[in-house]
Structure 1
Amino acid sequence: MASTPPLVHLISVLSLLAPMLAVAEDLFDQDQPLPEILSATRLKQSPAAVPGSVSVIDRALIEASGARDIPELMRLVPGMMVGYAKGNEITVNYHGGQVDSARRMQVLIDGRSVYRPGLATVDWVDLPLAIEDIERIEVFRGPNTVSYGANALTGVISITTRSPANSHGTRLKYTHGQRGIDDWYGSQAFSSGNGDFRLSLSGQQDSGFDRTDIEDTYRDSRRNTRMHFSATHALDDSQTLDWQLAAKEGSNQKNIYSDEEALISGIVPNGDTNRDLKARDYSASMRWSLDTSSTHNLQIQAYAQRWERVQEFGICDLALSFTPEVAALHRLNPDTLDTLSRLLRRGRANLINELITDPEQNALANTISSNFSSVGGEFKAPVCGKINNNINENRYDIELQDTLSLSDELRLLSGVSYRKDTADSQTYFQGGLQNEVWRLFGHLEWHLSEHFVLQGGSMFETDTLSGDSLTSRIALNYLITPRHGIRLVYSEAVRSPDMQENNVNWSYLIENLNPNLNGRDSAYYYATAQGPGNLQQEIMRSREIGYNGQFDFGLQIDIKLFNEEIHRLIAEPLDITEFVQNNDNYMWFRGAETEVDWALTASDRLRLTYAYVDFETSEKSYQRLTARYSGSAGYLRDWGGGWSSSLFYYGADLLNERRFERADLRIAKRFNFGKSDLELALMMQQRLDDEALTWRENLYDQRRMVSVSAQLEF
């Protein structure tokens, strides 16, 4: 006897519960306006009708959290994992992944992607945006390739900045605290003619972690200054024009503590301990919107941005490391070269024939050993020079979007876009590399009845470097009332291999050699890496059952059950000494998430999140930033008389095999001086565990951090 599909069972249960649940519609005041989700499908939708889970971090929550960085705000999102490679290197992964990279989530600022095309990452500490300029953040928790393209494999973080029209006046803010915190912010917003304008200038700095686990001083501070100019024009009753300019300049400290990068450590002196990264970001964007009628809207958005990264430093190694035999052995088997270097370092060259049995590798190993042990010692002499990790990346994007209400029950969104990415680096690509992407997308929302909403979306992409792809999503939302909905979602998504994974031509040219090598003042280092060039796109299949409820007494609840599978996973570390990229891995996640946001009274707000993630992966390093249990709790209180407070708890059982627990307290007092307001705030973070943060080297001297801020508005 054939079994009944689970979907049929669920729909049957819903049909039986519908008459009882519909009674709830009469228990509350239904005249209050529904909140809106703006970015999930590019259509404005009520939370109950969205085909997926969305977390909203509003302005009040941003201020109450006391966060200085967007990644810290992501701790408020269920299932989001925040990791620190260093104090100035932060990663954000939804459900998990590698600690030192996050390549599968799209990040947008007012619709502009800040996902770097060449090295495929988001530089969270280098975004040209102050947290004071953010109005709200919507996080779509799940694959959303159908709306935002191939990088939106696991989710989308959509950041909306404050409108100039709603932020008139002057704002000045200064924050100072432990761990070298010294931030400043100033903005001026005004009207002129048919436009509203805001100019923001800001700076941010801190000293990062205090020390490593072997008591070395940690050079991981950051310093940056930012400019953000935003303008909006009401051209007439049916047209608006918005445009922005942004720039950022700063430096992030980098260093190395030993000569461990040398072919044979302990033989040559260290290179530079100062390997600071200079970062400059520039962007310009424009959005034109036209309402041709009450049921039809056209929108054109275009932007250009540039990332500049300069990192140059001195390095020393043996003359031996520049010989063709060492380069050939590394190409054959980097592990064999590593074995040989250990034997030579320990004076055990007599074990070469025993441990290195492959004939070709054995012959090279013995030649290298003979050179190393030569009487003249010329190959053991140190050679020093200059090396760089410089890269410039550019992105140009233009998009046309059409939104049409075909009837009261049917809405169609469609669009087309073109994007060009370029990367220029002598080290990573031996020059320049470019990619072009065309996209055609659409989303259909059909209200089958008062209670059922059927939605479908698709995205077709043609990518010069990765080929063509077609992804889709289908969802059925059962609206118990307009404020309460149960959703069933099936999505397929892809991620295109990035330039570094698939197309890298990675080699280091050492210049200004001292002494010269056979009369040459430059030479290539032995370690090189070549991208395979034929990597396939990663594929994700996601199934979700969820509930979203908006109660009129201030309670909002979202519950999600999920099953996500990623196939053809590109998971090998991006390490030049062992670069083996392939599609041989997989990863799946199953679990549950919940989010509760409750305005208990006009003065009290409670927010709770929890995520349980069961996972399996063929790549061990991908288990490290996946916490099986994680969550947060926050309580916001307005005490009256200008006093307010907020208390947050964040916890995760294992982040890179380390427990994380922290409590944050913020107390603020606002003073009114006629047309001016002054707010003084105290912020305290208290670690509740004794672990390093993500990596064992990431240690603070004190588990407590205190900072103060003053903000003046007039």
Structure 2
Amino acid sequence: MSFGPPSPRSSLVLALIFSPALLADDLFLDNEPLPQVLTATRLKQSPAAVPGSMTVLDSELINASGARDISELLRLVPGMMVGNINGNQAAVNYHGTNASEARRMQVLIDGRSVYRAGLATVDWSDIPVAMEDIERIEVFRGPNTVSYGANALMAVVNIITRNPADSHGTRLKVTRGQRGINDFYASQGTGWDGGDLRLSLSGQQDDGFDSDRTGADYRDSRRLDRFNLVVSQTLNESQSIDWQLNAKDGSNQRPYTYRPVFSGITAAGNNSDVVAKDYAGSLRWNLDINPDHSLYIQGSAQHWDRQQTWRACDAEVSFSPQLTDLWQLNPNYAERLARNMERYTGPGAPAGTAAEQALGNQVLEQWKNGAKQTLCGDIDQSARESRYDLELQDTLSLSDSLRLVSGMNYRYDRADSETYFNGTLDDTTWRTFGQLEWRASEHWLLQGGAMFEDTQLTGSSLTPRVAVNYLINPRHGLRAVYSEAIRSPDMFENNVNWSYQVTNLRPSAYGQTSARYFVKTRGPGDLDKERMRSRELGYNGFFAELGLAVDVKLFYDEITGMISEPLRNNQYIASNANNSRFSGTETQLDWHVSRADRLRLTYAYVDAKASNPLDQQQTARNSGSAGWLRDWGQGWNSALFYYGDDALNGYRFERVDTRIAKRISLGKANLELAGVMQQRLDNQPTTFVDNNYDERRVLYFSAELAF
């Protein structure tokens, strides 16, 4: 096992950590309340006591960043690789791997997972929560299936919204700017005896990237509207109910990428845009049995609807039953024949087995007899996914030094798509979990936990975690953590039944106006789980006299049984044949220099090695951020942020964001006017070669009225 070399910044931080003078000032003083985090173990803990690495993005930081999307905020998390598939499809992964979607992270809104199990993705731009409704984002940087089940393989992102009791009054906000930026937000909060409510409406719109690699206009604009209703009701001294309703409606442009397989065919060139609708509801009952014992039961229902229809053109022979049979027999042979029909028309089918050559010659005969004519038809690539989730959690203090959190979870997932699954597929998951925290002495904290999970499609698994924290004092702790984690293959990877039923064919194909395209892909059905082993050494400390919070992490992670193949309907052969290793160091520093100034620095050095070279492309060896927040007085404040990584998918990314705001008092109301400028320092595409802006600078402005 080896770690990457420590950076100069890490060395300075380590020197600061073990400075006797600084530690002496803080030694065993607890006269100020310690900050608390919840996401790590489901127990409220101080950062020094957490069995792993945490990043908390608080409301001040969220507002000062000027970010319009959650994915952009995650650039402030060390080790988080943030890129773009295209303008309305962000790609976010912790430490990397080649998957363009967040297949190995669990993403939660107030504890409710928004990871779509059917198609293995998190729609970052479509998450149905407005930035203005977010209180903070807690990110557990490391595997945490012990607390949150499969898919929390590499990290957990928990988006925590504002309590409706803290949202009374009216807020109105509009944002306008270059690149078609046009956002709005409106909320109304009220309260009554024992209850509080917040209703918010919000929307976003922008034009995405300007041009692709050829300089042509890039179709990736987006528009979305959101509805959120949150209610909290106290029933009596020991019981309360929280419930939410969320909805999102929008459309995302998609660049037309279909290229005909057969030569001489002109593509239709129509759009392949997506109409997206999301609905979610949750209900949580909280019971405080006594000061040392509490539990909750939470149920939720979610539905994702993605409607995508487009028109494509190809040769009539692409609907040949014989070519379909040949594809099923040998996809490589069938594709080689299809892309070189004219070459083989004279000499006959290329060398192969007798069955391959016989089918190949029948296809060539059809080609010669007129099956090369161009046909155009409609393709429906829509998908609907639903999830129903029920969870029980019990939190018990067994003594002053011993705490236990345990629970169980049931989840039902359903995916419906004629293209991806040839109908409907479902899965059920049962999970039990437990985490024990034992304060063995004033300095030593021992923690252990495990999760057992059983799924209908992939079977059962058990994952443990053990951690030892040495608390120098309540605000400073060293940690050593070993954990195991899994990721269950999702429905798409394991059970895809991918084929295109093309309708409204003009002219007809083999006498039919509706036919199946010859390419058909089946998932293996027997994929095993991805497995991760993680080792971590770290330090977390808060220097109260300086207002300085520091976290340092050394890590060595191994993933085996990786499913690395691209999710595409072209020779897609999923397997557990790959593995990756990630090692390195991360540093996080948050310093309230004075009441007016706050500095924040992050840095990550990640050394990635993988059996599949694609699994290293989405990892930047060096990445980080720097921020300066300043309150100038008289209602003026500013923020300056730098974000950078040296090579994400081969492209460097460097950007400076500046936000300047003025708060104006209007009697009982407050008006805030703000301007944001984002300036790229590099001149490269963003993550992929087709993601290009005509100008490296963008400006947008906002006005927010609260009363």
Which bracket does the TM-score occupy, shorter chain normalised? Answer: over 0.9
Q: Look up the equivalent residue of 1:629 and give its one-letter code.
A: N
Distance in 1, matches of 2:83 and 2:346, equals: 44
Q: Deviations over 1:638-665 (max 9, x none)?
A: 0000110000000101111001100000
SS at match of 2:60: helix
TM-score normalized with structure 2 length = 0.95
Pair 1:454-2:457 in alignment:
no
Q: CA deviation at 1:366?
A: 3.6
Kept after mapping to 1: 8 A contact 2:270/2:312: no
Aligned to 1:48: 48
Which stretch of structure 1 is more off in the superposition, 86-95 or 333-342?
333-342
Pair 1:572-2:565 in alignment:
yes
Kept after mapping to 2: 8 A contact 1:590/1:614: yes
Q: Look up the equivalent residue of 2:608 and give its one-letter code.
A: F
Pair 1:298-2:295 in alignment:
yes
Give 1:211-290 correspondences, 5 Å limit: 211-256=211-256, 260=259, 262-265=260-263, 267-290=264-287
Kept after mapping to 2: 8 A contact 1:542/1:562: yes
Distance in 2, matches of 1:551 and 1:366, equals: 77
Q: Look up the equivalent residue of 1:34 and give its one-letter code.
A: L
Q: Deviations over 1:314-363 (max 9, x none)?
A: 12111111112322332233333333334336x4656776x645554344
Q: Deviations over 1:120-157 (max 9, x none)?
A: 21011111111110000000000000000001000100
Q: Look up the equivalent residue of 1:622 and give its one-letter code.
A: D
Aligned to 1:341: 338
Kept after mapping to 2: 8 A contact 1:458/1:472: yes
SS at match of 1:659: strand
Aligned to 1:622: 615
Aligned to 2:201: 201
Aligned to 1:545: 537
Kept after mapping to 1: 8 A contact 2:145/2:463: yes
Kept after mapping to 1: 8 A contact 2:28/2:474: no
Give 1:113-124 correspondences, 5 Å limit: 113-124=113-124
Pair 1:325-2:318 in alignment:
no
Corresponding residue to 1:368 among 363, 375, 381: 363
Q: CA deviation at 1:57?
A: 0.1
Aligned to 1:160: 160
Q: Check 1:365–1:648 CA distance in 2 against 1; reply closer, same or farther (3 A cut).
A: same
Q: CA deviation at 1:194?
A: 1.8
Q: Look up the equivalent residue of 1:399 and give its one-letter code.
A: E
Aligned to 1:185: 185
Q: Deviations over 1:48-98 (max 9, x none)?
A: 000000000000000000000000000000000012111111111000012
Q: Deviations over 1:673-698 (max 9, x none)?
A: 12111111110000000100011010
Kept after mapping to 1: 8 A contact 2:80/2:93: yes
Pair 1:559-2:552 in alignment:
yes
Pair 1:428-2:427 in alignment:
no
Kept after mapping to 1: 8 A contact 2:337/2:344: no
Q: Check 1:608–1:19 CA distance in 2 against 1; reply closer, same or farther (3 A cut).
A: closer
Distance in 2, matches of 1:19 and 1:307, equals: 53
Kept after mapping to 1: 8 A contact 2:29/2:474: no
Corresponding residue to 2:434 among 435, 439, 442: 442
Kept after mapping to 2: 8 A contact 1:85/1:99: no
What percentage of aligned pairs have identical amino acids?
56
Q: Look up the equivalent residue of 2:111 and give its one-letter code.
A: G
Q: CA deviation at 1:373?
A: 2.8
Q: Deviations over 1:206-227 (max 9, x none)?
A: 0010011101111100000000
SS at match of 2:448: strand
Pair 1:408-2:404 in alignment:
no
Distance in 2, matches of 1:18 and 1:682, equals: 41
Distance in 2, matches of 1:392 and 1:366, equals: 40
Distance in 2, matches of 1:273 and 1:672, equals: 51
TM-score normalized with structure 1 length = 0.94
Distance in 2, matches of 1:509 and 1:421, equals: 25
Kept after mapping to 2: 8 A contact 1:503/1:533: yes
Distance in 2, matches of 1:367 and 1:622, equals: 41
Aligned to 2:640: 647
Kept after mapping to 2: 8 A contact 1:99/1:624: no
Aligned to 2:176: 176
Kept after mapping to 2: 8 A contact 1:187/1:201: yes
Aligned to 1:148: 148
Give 1:633-672 correspondences, 5 Å limit: 633-672=626-665
Kept after mapping to 1: 8 A contact 2:209/2:693: yes
Aligned to 1:101: 101
SS at match of 2:420: helix
Aligned to 2:12: none
Distance in 1, matches of 2:23 and 2:158, equals: 36
Q: Deviations over 1:532-582 (max 9, x none)?
A: 110001100000000000110210000000000000001111111111001
Kept after mapping to 1: 8 A contact 2:268/2:312: yes
Kept after mapping to 1: 8 A contact 2:85/2:687: yes
Distance in 1, matches of 2:424 and 2:319, equals: 25
Distance in 2, matches of 1:18 and 1:609, equals: 20
Q: Check 1:341–1:21 CA distance in 2 against 1; reply closer, same or farther (3 A cut).
A: farther
Which stretch of structure 1 is more off in the superposition, 514-523 or 133-142?
514-523
Which stretch of structure 1 is more off in the superposition, 420-429 or 323-332?
323-332
Distance in 2, matches of 1:371 and 1:26, equals: 84
Q: Deviations over 1:502-546 (max 9, x none)?
A: 111111111122222333221111111111110001100000000
Distance in 2, matches of 1:423 and 1:493, equals: 25
Aligned to 1:77: 77
Q: Look up the equivalent residue of 2:300 and give its one-letter code.
A: Y
Q: CA deviation at 1:501?
A: 0.5
Q: Deviations over 1:357-401 (max 9, x none)?
A: 555434433433333233xx2x01112211111111110011111
Distance in 2, matches of 1:459 and 1:513, equals: 51
Aligned to 1:11: none
Q: Considering only aligned residues, what root-mean-square deviation do their CA atoms show, in Å?
A: 1.8
Q: Check 1:323–1:204 CA distance in 2 against 1; reply closer, same or farther (3 A cut).
A: same
Distance in 1, matches of 2:373 and 2:474, equals: 77
Distance in 2, matches of 1:150 and 1:672, equals: 49
SS at match of 1:535: coil
Kept after mapping to 2: 8 A contact 1:336/1:356: no
Kept after mapping to 2: 8 A contact 1:239/1:288: yes
User: What runs of 5+ residues in structure 1 fail to find an aligned partner?
Assistant: 1-16
Distance in 1, matches of 2:285 and 2:418, equals: 38
SS at match of 2:647: coil
Q: Check 1:26–1:578 CA distance in 2 against 1; reply closer, same or farther (3 A cut).
A: closer
Aligned to 1:315: 312
Distance in 2, matches of 1:18 and 1:559, equals: 13
Aligned to 2:9: none
Distance in 1, matches of 2:164 and 2:22, equals: 42
Kept after mapping to 2: 8 A contact 1:84/1:99: no
Q: Check 1:273–1:35 CA distance in 2 against 1; reply closer, same or farther (3 A cut).
A: same
Kept after mapping to 1: 8 A contact 2:345/2:364: yes
Q: Check 1:352–1:645 CA distance in 2 against 1; reply closer, same or farther (3 A cut).
A: farther
Distance in 1, matches of 2:413 and 2:344, equals: 50
In the alignment of these two chains, the number of paired residues is: 691
SS at match of 1:443: strand
Distance in 1, matches of 2:540 and 2:522, equals: 48
